[in-house]
Amino acid sequence: MLRRSMLHAMSGFAALAALPPAFGQNVRRRLTFSWPTNAGPLHPHLYSPNQMYAQSMLYEPLVRYVEGGKILPALATAWEMEEDGRAWRFTLRPGVRFTDGTPFDAAAAVANVNAVLGNRARHAWLELVNQIDGAEAIDPGTVRLRLKGPYYPALLELALPRPLRFVSPAALRPDGSIAAPVGTGPWVLAETAHGQHDRFRRNEQYWGEKPVLEEVLVRVLGDSNARALALESGEIDLTYGTDQLDADTFRRFAADPRFTTAISPPIGTRMLALNSARFPTDELAVREAIAQGIDRAALVRHILLDTEPAAETLFARNFPYTDLGLRAPAFDRAAATARLDAAGWRLPAGGRVRSKGGKELALDLCFIGADALQKAIGEAVQGDLARIGIAVRLVGEDASTYYGRQRSGEFGMIFGDSWGAPYDPHAFMSSMRAPSHADYQAQRGLPMKSEIDRRIGAVLSITEEARRAEEYRWLLTTLHEQAVYFPVSFFTNKVVHRPALGRVPFGDMRTDIPFDRIGRG
């Protein structure tokens, strides 16, 4: 983690002693944050408009994920694999209650799992939901999860912010809806004002270490400029996230001695997918020339302003099974040009675009038109590839049309992000088998696509660690060598706050904001 230390900043809330007493008391009591939208109805099993950071404040999983793929206890204190991976037995944490006073026990856990399974089609994107055969209460403190077959990422997917988290059975209706957002987590939702704010209060009966803060007020601020102004004026205390501030604004705060800034380790990958089933990127030599012809370092330096590290691989090395020593080809315009020459792509005298067999070397780069960052990266890529004789047409469209292209494969290159921890690599790669995903469409023309899909399916059921690692090595090396992705950078979470707030840690998942740990030593 990169952190710029303030010269006279003191750790924790000791710094508050230097502030006026009223201000210090206010910071102890309430932190003001901002988010583009309201938190939503906060159903733990459902998706938009529910905001994941807020779902994680109220609802807890059986187990939790920490960076690097390690699994630690949460609502379960112990677990064991049974029947060669076809079942998992969990020992539940004793004495835990929902904020309405209802005990968290095996019956409550089973009721929540059954509610998710009752809406199985809605959750089909998550392979664990497809694999669960059922749940049973062995006794009040033990629950057993039966699977259709071995599925090694079961614990990883139980740690996700949704859908397998737990609401009070007293609030869970027969149709799967909830009467109120009642969890076991360190926070409770106290108030929602539509378009204005959400107010969270500390759960005073929380089973674990209680937050230092008593209250988190989340103001609704729709754009990064408004967020930056609110931070400068003191209307909010903290910004946190991947894109809550643009890179230039973050750099400005990093140079301002009134603020502390920090950048997390990599939490996912920003990339371009190249369509192996569509002319002209159906040719490996063209994809390899693109990989050599784009100046990745310049994109990171001039557009991302060094707020994200350059990415040479599909996943960062701090994810499970991904530290394989793979390297991207170095930016080399002369080598890219020679590669295209050798493949028969000729640049006519006085011309700017190569051609072969009467067809020009031209392709579409699709992006969301309202996304200024994608547009800026796209323009830089367009300029780089023009210098080696590849014409790039920038196609900026509304989000619905853009996602339609991802599903249909109507693109030459298209922007994409990996899903981050704990989805990477297993869940992101599992989705590569679905025709509705851009990754499937991008890989569809590869001669070994069927083998890639078969091996992805196989690796998910391998319970032997060494065999699993070898399968991932083959998969990630093959995709790397086929140049079907151009990784741009590893995106990061970024935090800005005043030093008096003390230590602001990063969550282990992209979507988690650890308000409960702010102010601790």
Q: How far apart are CA 273 and CA 484, in angstroms?
A: 6
Q: What is the pLDDT of residue 111?
A: 97
Residues 504 and 455 in one domain: no
Higher pLDDT, 3 or 440: 440
Asked if 282 and 256 sit in the same domain, the reply is no
Tell me the two tokens of residue 408: 């249909």
Is 148 part of a structural domain of the chain?
yes
Token pair listed for 72: 């630690």
Distance CA 418, CA 420 (A): 6
Are 332 and 227 in a shared domain? no
The distance of Cα 68 from the centroid of its chain, to the nearest Å, equals 14
Residue 521: what pLDDT?
A: 66
User: Quick check: 293 and 250 in contact, CB under 8 A?
Assistant: no
- The arithmetic mean of pLDDT across residues 10-39, rounded, is 57
Read off the pLDDT of each residue in 381-402 and give the average, rounded to a whole number. 97
> Which CATH number do you get for residue 152?
3.40.190.10
**25-34, 126-135, 360-369, 505-514: least confidently modelled range:** 25-34
pLDDT at 502 (0 to 100): 87
Mean pLDDT of 166-192: 96
Token output for 181: 């957002």
Instruction: Judge if 259 and 281 occupy the same domain.
Output: no
Task: Tell whether 365 is covered by a domain.
Answer: yes
Range of the domain at 143: 52-158
Residue 193 corresponds to which tokens in the numbers above? 């004002």
Could you count the other beta carbons within 10 Å of the beta carbon of residue 261? Answer: 22
The residue written with tokens 């999860």 in the block is 145
Based on the fold, state whether residues 445 and 418 are members of the same structural domain.
yes
The pLDDT value given to residue 221: 94
More confident residue, 90 or 434: 90
281 and 343 share one domain: yes
Let me know the angle formed at the C-alpha of 166 by 160 and 168, rounded to the nearest 5 degrees: 165
Residue 429, CB-side half-sphere exposure with 13 Å CA sphere: 29
Q: Is residue 3 predicted with pLDDT exceeding 70?
A: no
What is the rounded average pLDDT of the residues 249-273? 95
Mean pLDDT of the region 273-293: 98
Nearest CA among 24, 66, 22, 20 for reference residue 212: 24
Q: What is the percent of the chain where pLDDT is above 70? A: 94
Cα–Cα distances in Å, from 352 out to 347, 380, 412, 413, 470?
A: 7, 17, 19, 20, 44
* More confident site: 463 or 271: 271
Q: What is the pLDDT confidence band of residue 43, given thresholds at 50, 70 and 90?
A: very high
DSSP 34: E
Residue given tokens 């989000």 in the structure block: 399
269: pLDDT strictly greater than 90: yes
Q: Is 388 exposed, middle or buried (0-12, 13-18, 19+ CB in 10 A)?
A: buried
Helix 449-459 with 465-481: angle, nearest 10 deg = 150
Write the DSSP symbol of residue 279: T
CA distance 364 to 412: 5
- Does 484 share its domain with 358? yes
Strands (E) across 119-265 are located at 132-139, 142-147, 187-193, 197-202, 215-220, 238-241, 260-263
pLDDT computed for residue 28 by the predictor: 53
Side by side, which strands form the sheet with 362-368? 391-397, 362-368, 413-417, 268-274, 485-491
- How many whole angstroms separate alpha carbon 38 and alpha carbon 241? 16
Considering the domain architecture, whether residues 343 and 421 belong to the same structural domain is answered as yes
Query: How many Å apart are CA 300 and CA 222, to the nearest integer?
Result: 26
Both tokens of 325, joined, read 């020593």
pLDDT of residue 520: 81
Q: How far is CA 194 from the centre of its chain?
A: 26
Write down the mean pLDDT value for the chain: 92
CA distance 332 to 416: 24
Residue 329, preceding bond cis, omega within 30 degrees? no
Q: Clarify whether residues 153 and 128 are in a common domain.
A: yes
Indicate the SS3 state at residue 78: strand
Clarify whether residues 254 and 232 are in a common domain: yes
Q: Compute the Cα dihedral for 19, 25, 26, 32 and give only its sign.
A: positive
Cα first-last separation, the chain = 17
Same domain, residue pair 283 and 387: yes
Indicate the pLDDT class of residue 24, thresholds 50, 70 and 90: very low
Domain tally, the chain: 3
Question: Is residue 12 scored above 90 in pLDDT?
Answer: no
The answer to whether residue 404 scores a pLDDT higher than 50 is yes
Task: Tell me the per-residue pLDDT of 469-519, one tens digit each, with 9 for 90 and over.
Answer: 999 999 999 999 999 999 999 999 999 999 988 889 999 888 999 999 998
Residue 283 maps to which CATH number? Answer: 3.10.105.10
Q: Which residue has the tokens 């509705």?
A: 436
The pLDDT of residue 441 is above 70: yes
169 within domain boundaries: no
Phi-psi region of 169 (alpha: psi -120 to 50; beta: other; left: phi over 0): alpha
Taking alpha carbons only, the member of 166, 182, 38, 158 closest to residue 88 is: 158
Q: Note whether residue 179 is domain-resident.
A: no
Residue 412: count of CB within 10 angstroms of its CB: 24
pLDDT for the residue 25: 45
Does 47 fall in a domain? no
In a domain, 139, yes or no: yes
Indicate if 144 and 15 belong to the same structural domain: no
